[in-house]
Structure 1
Amino acid sequence: MAQNITVLGAGKSGLAAAELASQQGNRVFVSESRTEQQCADIKVRLDQLGVESEFGGHTNRALQASTLILSPGIPPTHPIRVEARNRNIEVIGELEYASRFISNKIIAVTGTNGKTTTTALTGYILNNAGTSAVTCGNIGTPLSSLISTLSPDTVVVAEVSSYQLDSIADFHPFISIILNITPDHIGYHGSFQDYVKCKWKIFSRQGGSDIVVLNADDEHTASAASAVRCTTAFFSTQREVKGAFVRGDEVVFRSSSNKEEVLMPTHRLGLPGLHNTYNSMASALASRAFEVSNEAIRESLESFSGVEHRLERVRIYNHITYINDSKATNVNAAWFALASFDRPIVWIAGGRADDNDYSLLDELVATNVKAIVCIGEQADVVFNHWCTTRRCVKAHTLTEAVQAATELAEQHDIVLLSPACKSFDMFSNYEERGRMFKQAVQDLK
């Protein structure tokens, strides 16, 4: 039976949800805060679908629906969202809506950091082993856009943000992974405690033969085990657990019956850094649930080269290595980047902060960083925090920052863009920031 459905927000996921809802025979209305001029191509597509829309703000027309589908990032305090709840209108996100149209097994990956890498790596392992898999969600492709092409036996590997988890109801993965939980998006969630609760929602519908994969070394992730109602597997670099752990220089699997299997030496992992050891173990545990052999897992972990904007090697110029880590949008992500190299780092940092505590980086900066180039809204804050202990300079643009970093670096140094901040002060997203960094590096002569 056709429903009246409103989609709030006409970004990538909103447009995909509108298309899916329209294909299902519903009466769809899209409400977007940006102007029609800013969304000219989207307006054309909506008109082609026969979907009504409004631009430049949200009117009460958006509330003439039985279901309101949210685009990620629209906060609980948004007036339309609040009023929809008051009127008992169902409020869900695009991921929740799309998941209602499939019966495929889902691997859902969340965490403050490492989601994209782990999602991509898990999909890579499964496909290399001959198990059909697609990656979607926060990684860039909305699940809604895949519904019409998914075969029933394809595994869906979904990167799931806290924004998406905030608007789920019946979303039910076969495997859920929580990589880590550190303060982020507090302005949206209201408190760190609420952020943690939101991350835990990923396993709220799991039970029976489902599996929850948790980081045993992260306090707020490991403690989620007390609320899990199905099988739990852990991964750790600090202790021996049932799941996957590091003993000496080896990654070891341990089953629930305490049977052990050595997977591989950690130095053979294709992705560098402690954080990627965690990501690799999480992906390996998820893959084993689909009966992927240790040999196939090992081969994929050795050959996987990473994802764009995450510790991405851009260029070696005059014996200086340039690394794009634009996806490091918080302090914790930058911590892992700064810990990943054994050569002096000229660090490009700054942007829009979200309750950033830079003191968490003091020890790493003292040992690994020789100079800092400060950018964006946080340029003065970053500069003032470290200027008495490290050479600090400010740059007005990312191109200027690359030039300044090049002048500060010496042969065999690392120039690292790992901002520890959101990108929205200077760029539309972290991808644009990363692309501009790479272009500036390629333009060096």
Structure 2
Amino acid sequence: MSDPLELPRFLEGKRILVWGLGREGKATIDLLHRFLPGQPFGVADRSPQALQAAELAAFRVDRYEEAEALRRLPEFDLILKAPGIPTRHLALDGRAAKVNGQADLFLRFAPCPVIGVTGTKGKSTTASLLAHICRSAGRKTFLVGNIGIPPFAVWGDLDSESVVVCELSSYQLEFARCSPHIALWTNLYPEHLNFHGSFDAYARAKSGIARWQSRGDFLIYSADEPALADRLQKKTDAGAGKRIPYRGPEELSGIDFSHFRPLGEHNRKNAAAALLAAKVLGIQPSAMQEAIDSFFPLPHRLEPAGMVREISFYNDSISTVPESALVALAALPSARTLIVGGQDRGLPLEGFARSLVKVRSLRTIILLPETGSRLGELLRRVVPPFAGTLRFAETLEAAVRIALVDTPEGTCCLFSPAAPSYNAFRNFEERGDHFRTLVREAARGTQTRVGNDPAP
């Protein structure tokens, strides 16, 4: 922990480029304006509209379109890059050391304990639950990072009594040179390979959660994830923090999970990680139990989307990898219909197809573009082939209509795409909202028809 003014002192006098003017870039500009109001800096973005934004008018700022900024990189001492800007295709040469981000500076200079949470899946739920536990214990708690709140947005509110839970994506960890005091790592599956270029590069970015830890730090990690275990064997990635492996809630015998609302063993496992971190923070079991009993699941994560003609629909739009769809199916033994498919990033789907064949409860799989066509062919060719019905749907609207016909009453339909949304939607939230709307419209349509039926 450090003095809150140590970060402004670090930035003072440096030639800074703020690269990317989304939420995080704007939070960086606000911090510079607040603590270093007279210091000039540069901003870069691929959008001319963003560069001409009115909120920049009050600052001493030079605006650069992205191509020009890349030519000018040698002129800057520090480049604060937005997480979503890919750099692997750029010839940064010796300038990579200048590239940084909010996450790294926040971890380096925060005036209070920071708990970092990463993982291919489960990080938002784990981080949210941990923040809820801390608040239940009366701690002044901030939840920031990949969950949607830039770390710098809360900088002025922090003091030595605060606790920060920071959800960290591979994008945010890619250029990190500091790790959190307490790190949680939930799992590691192939993801974001189009951004990082390879699974090894993605895994190396993720390992930034632990790489820079010292002996006084803690790494809480899933003991059941082979890829994660392999990564922690690499001396260059492991760090020196004390390792605390976990497998599930059975390791926290004093906590009663009978009122825990999120569905599935995977969520109970996420809860175990959060509880172990709370234990390291010295939080009392009574506050942990209160938080477990009162925590509500996040949207788009095995979320009940409605019921139509005694068919329950579940929205799991957060699912962007096959592993997440499989754990969702395991959490819903009454699922008879699965809606799956989305943007095709070229991930291998053979193992996914073999696993789906083994889900004996499934009667219908509805396949959406783009991955649906490839998965459908694999489900036909795998030995043994899928014994149920395969349906192809061009749109989510068509998929819901098919599900209403094919799903038996008293069972459920699960929407767990196992792929990103970008071929049809801006993000998984928009995709999940649309699914939820379709289910509600179908429910209203059914009620209207029933209300208009003639009396016997």
Give the TM bin, normalised by the shorter chain.
Answer: 0.7 to 0.9
SS at match of 2:156: coil
Q: Which residue of 2 aligns with 1:116?
A: 124
Q: Which stretch shifts more, 100-109 or 376-385?
A: 376-385
Give the deviation of 1:57 after TM superposition.
Answer: 5.3
Letter of the 2:329 partner, please give it: L
What CA distance in whole angstroms lies between the structure 1 residues aligned with 2:343 and 2:332?
25
TM-score w.r.t. length of structure 1: 0.86
What residue is the counterpart of 1:172 in the other structure? 179
Distance in 2, matches of 1:49 and 1:320, equals 56
The 3-state SS of whatever aligns with 1:152 is: coil
Deviation at 1:62, TM superposition (A): 5.1
Task: Name the structure 2 match of 1:314.
Answer: 305
Q: Distance in 1 between matches of 2:19 and 2:89?
A: 11
User: 1:298/1:137 Cα in 2 relative to 1: closer, same or farther (>3 Å)?
Assistant: same
**1:107–1:156 Cα contact (<8 Å) kept:** yes
Structure 1 residues 276 and 31: alpha-carbon distance in aligned structure 2, compared to 1, 3 A threshold: same
Matching residue's letter, 1:128: S
Indicate how the Cα distance of structure 1 residues 351 and 34 shifts in structure 2: closer, same or farther if over 3 A, else same: farther
Worse-matched range after superposition: 357-366 or 339-348: 357-366
Deviation at 1:376, TM superposition (A): 2.9
Secondary structure (helix, strand or coil) at the match of 2:283 reads coil
State the match for 2:25 in structure 1: 14
**1:252 equivalent in alignment to 2:251:** yes
Distance, in Å, in 2 between the alignment partners of 1:252 and 1:162 is 28
Shift of 1:160: 0.5
Give, in whole Å, the separation in 1 of the partners of 2:173 and 2:311: 41
* CA offsets 1:258-303 (integer angstroms, 9 cap, x no match): xxxx223554433221211210100000011122122221232232
Map of 1:381 onto structure 2:
374
1:221 equivalenced with 2:232 (yes/no) = no
Aligned mate of 1:297, from 288, 292, 298: 288
Deviates more, 1:114-123 or 1:196-205: 196-205
**Cα displacement string for residues 366-400 of structure 1 (whole angstroms, at most 9, x for unaligned residues):** 42322122223223213323356232223333223
Paired residues for 1:11-410 under 5 Å: 11-25=22-36, 26-36=39-49, 39=50, 43-49=53-59, 51-55=61-65, 59-60=69-70, 63=73, 64-79=75-90, 82-83=91-92, 85-87=93-95, 90-169=98-177, 171-223=178-230, 226=233, 227-237=238-248, 251-253=250-252, 262-361=253-352, 362-365=354-357, 366-386=359-379, 389=386, 390-410=388-408
Code of the aligned partner of 2:294: S
Shift of 1:21: 3.0
Please state which structure has a larger fraction of its residues in helix: 2
Q: CA distance change for structure 1 residues 11 and 86 in 2, over 3 Å: closer, same or farther?
A: same
- C-alpha contact (below 8 Å) 2:212/2:239 kept by paired residues: no
Instruction: Give the Cα–Cα distance (whole angstroms) in 2 for the partners of residues 399 and 50 of structure 1.
Output: 49
Counterpart residue number, 1:243: none
- What is the identity percentage for the equivalent residue pairs of Structure 1 and Structure 2? 28
CA distance, structure 2, for counterparts of residue 51 and residue 402 of structure 1? 50
Deviations 1:135-176 (A, max 9, x none): 11111111011112223311110111111111112x331100
| 1:2 is aligned to 2:1 | no
Q: Which amino acid is the alignment partner of residue 437 of structure 1? A: F
State the alpha-carbon separation in 1 of the partners of residues 394 and 421 from structure 2: 14
CA–CA distance in structure 1, aligned partners of residues 96 and 390 of structure 2: 54
Within 2, Cα distance between the matches of 1:437 and 1:315?
A: 10
Aligned to 1:429: 427
Separation in 1, partners of 2:324, 2:405: 26
Give the aligned length. Answer: 418
- Contact (CA 8 Å) 2:88, 2:196: kept in 1 or not? no
RMSD across aligned C-alpha pairs, in angstroms? 2.4
SS in 1 for 2:147: coil
Shift, 1:195, TM fit? 2.4
Rg (Cα) greater in structure: 2
Task: Tell me how far apart the structure 1 counterparts of residues 244 and 371 of structure 2 sit (CA, whole Å).
Answer: 39
The 8 Å contact of residues 216 and 242 in structure 2, kept in 1 or not, is answered as yes
Q: 1:442 to 1:186 in 2, by over 3 A?
A: same
SS in 2 for 1:177: strand
Supply the AA of the counterpart residue of 1:27.
P
| Conserved 8 A contact 2:367-2:376 | yes
Paired with 2:16 and 2:215, the residues of 1 have a C-alpha distance of 33
For structure 2, which runs of at least 5 residues remain unmatched after alignment?
1-11, 446-456
Distance 1:175-1:33 versus aligned 2 partners, 3 A rule: same
| Partner Cα separation in structure 2 for residue 401 and residue 2 of structure 1 | 57
The residue that corresponds to 2:449 in the other structure is none
Q: How many angstroms apart in 2 are the aligned matches of 1:218 and 1:4?
A: 43
TM-score in terms of structure 2 length: 0.85
The DSSP-based 3-state class of the residue aligned with 2:390 is strand
Task: For 1:342, give the aligned amino acid.
Answer: P
